[in-house]
Amino acid sequence: MTIEIRPARADEMEQFGLMGSYSYAGSFGDGPDNVVAASNRPEWTLCAFDGPVMATAYAAFPFTVRANGNAMAFAGVTGVGTHPEYRRQGLLRKITTQSLANMRDAGQTIAGLWASQAAIYQRYGYAMLGVGRTYTIDTVDIGFFDGDDGGLAIKRLNPGEAMETVKSLYREFIAERMGYLHRSQQLWTNNAFANDENDGPVYTAVAYDGDTPRGYVVYTFRANRHDHPARSQGLHIRDLVWLDGAAYRSLWSFIARHDLVGKVVWANVPADDPAAEFFIEPRMLNTKEGEGSWLRVVDVESALTQRGYCGSGEVDLAVVDDSLADWNNGTWRLTASAEGAAVERTNATPTATIGIKALASLFSGSCSARALASWNLLEADAAVLQTLDAMFATKYAPHCADHY
């Protein structure tokens, strides 16, 4: 068997779609035109071929992501799958190794994905960007401990007329955050505003302070989605953005006024969402925690240079054991402040030592330096840990709101 690793051609994208529908058992649609294949281009793929047969599929969307206030080029890995008869042969490892080099050449200094299995991607240097939280609550349990319902006016708009307002609010909301994607029209269409007959029509409600929009919610709802004799409707929150507490409270108060809705579900909630602080009975959110998206540092030098920082400091950081991207190994002098960062390779004795996976956790702000050190994933003395925590703190909890 001779395996060739290369991008798929246009006439081979049907195989890419069939790989996705088989590997994920129809999660993204059955057949060659499932949503992952339809969103891809051949030049974004890197696949393994056994003659004319696609043995392994892999693609990376070119995205832009927020990194604590800065914009960074980002590779969104997607559509990964290997037919069972070709598994356990190292094909995905070979593709991942080549893909990381391609990403580096393209200036994509970090990469991310939604993991089908964490075991696969942790060994490739990925770490969780953040948690995936889900709320499930009855409208009768939506209320605030202090009785403040927000007080802003709510206007329901159809998706077409709301789009520009919603886009503007989203851009302002994510500006200082970590992990949120710059949404193309395709991302808006495939995620927040995707048509799904099972979910029902897509609705948009915008919160206004006078004439100024301050937040929005995109949602769907249908009857007979909840086993309740009086409130059988189910409402799904697709996207919720708020620029202040009044907007947040007002949007939830609007949702609560759907009297026939017995179950409100919001999946993929940010880790620092304030509902648990605001709601009169936060336990009624029935919060469940799971995995969020995953992040990998592709190019240490460029990634550390481009990230936004909250605190100032200098550290000689040794990165070790990156077996897939050996250009990352070595000691890097990072000098950073809120004004920017400089990174250079150095022969100095490192003041901190970290592996590539733990570096992803530190980079995203999902784990503190002190926590990583307590788990023996980072070596540094107490003073350096304090410096690292000040430098790598994020203004908001890391989160990715979009599947890809």
User: What's the count of helices (H) and strands (E) in the chain, helices before strands?
Assistant: 12, 20
SS3 46: coil
SS3 396: coil
Phi, psi of 118 (to 5 degrees): -60, -35
Beta strands, E only, 114-200: 127-128, 131-137, 153-157, 178-181
Residues 6+ away with beta carbon under 8 Å from 345: 301, 330, 331, 332, 333
pTM: 0.94
Report angle CA 375, 381, 385 to the nearest 5 degrees. Answer: 70
Determine the residue type at 43: E
Instruction: For residue 86, give both structure tokens.
Output: 């070709």
**Helix (H) or strand (E) segment spanning residue 337:** strand 330-337
What are the CA-CA distances from residue 260 to residues 221, 256, 257, 326 (Å)? 10, 10, 9, 58
Phi, psi of 130 (to 5 degrees): -175, 180
Residues 6+ away with beta carbon under 8 Å from 135: 264, 265, 266, 269, 275, 285, 286, 287
Q: Which of 101, 100, 108, 148 is nearest to 124 (CA)?
A: 100
CA dihedral 317, 322, 328, 330 (to 10 degrees): 50
Q: What is the pLDDT along the chain (404 residues), one digit of tens a residue?
A: 699 999 999 999 999 999 998 988 666 656 566 666 678 999 999 999 999 999 999 999 999 999 999 999 999 999 999 999 999 999 999 999 999 999 999 999 999 999 999 999 999 999 999 888 999 999 999 999 999 999 999 999 998 899 999 999 999 999 999 999 999 999 999 999 999 888 999 999 999 999 999 999 999 999 988 899 999 999 999 999 999 999 999 999 999 999 999 999 999 999 999 999 999 999 999 999 999 999 999 999 999 999 999 999 999 999 999 999 999 999 999 999 999 999 999 999 999 999 999 999 999 999 999 999 999 999 999 999 999 999 999 999 999 999 99
Give all domains of the chain, ordered by start, each with its CATH number.
Answer: 3-108 (3.40.630.30), 132-291 (3.40.630.30), 295-392 (3.30.1050.10)
Bridge partners of residue 156, in order along the sequence: 205
- Could you count the other beta carbons within 10 Å of the beta carbon of residue 52? 7
What are the CA-CA distances from residue 10 to residues 7, 22, 40, 246 (Å)? 10, 20, 10, 49
Report angle CA 387, 388, 391 to the nearest 5 degrees. Answer: 85
Q: Cα 298 to chain center, whole Å?
A: 16
SS3 340: strand
Residues 6+ away with beta carbon under 8 Å from 181: 63, 64, 65, 66, 74, 76, 187, 400, 401, 402, 404
Instruction: For residue 255, give both structure tokens.
Output: 């949702």
Question: DSSP for 72-88?
Answer: EEEEEEEEEEE-GGGTT
**Helix (H) or strand (E) segment spanning residue 245:** helix 245-256
What are the CA-CA distances from residue 308 to residues 178, 270, 311, 339 (Å)? 9, 20, 10, 8
Are 341 and 304 spatial neighbours (Cβ–Cβ below 8 Å)?
Answer: yes
SS3 347: coil
By CB atoms closer than 10 A (0-12, 13-18, 19+), residue 289 is exposed
Report how far residue 296's alpha carbon sits from residue 76's, in angstroms, rounded to the nearest whole number: 10
Report how far residue 357's alpha carbon sits from residue 367's, in angstroms, rounded to the nearest whole number: 11
Q: Based on C-alpha coordinates, what's the Rg of the chain?
A: 23
> For position 35, what pLDDT does the model report?
61
Q: Which of 396, 300, 398 is nearest to 357 (CA)?
A: 300
Are 345 and 160 spatial neighbours (Cβ–Cβ below 8 Å)?
Answer: no
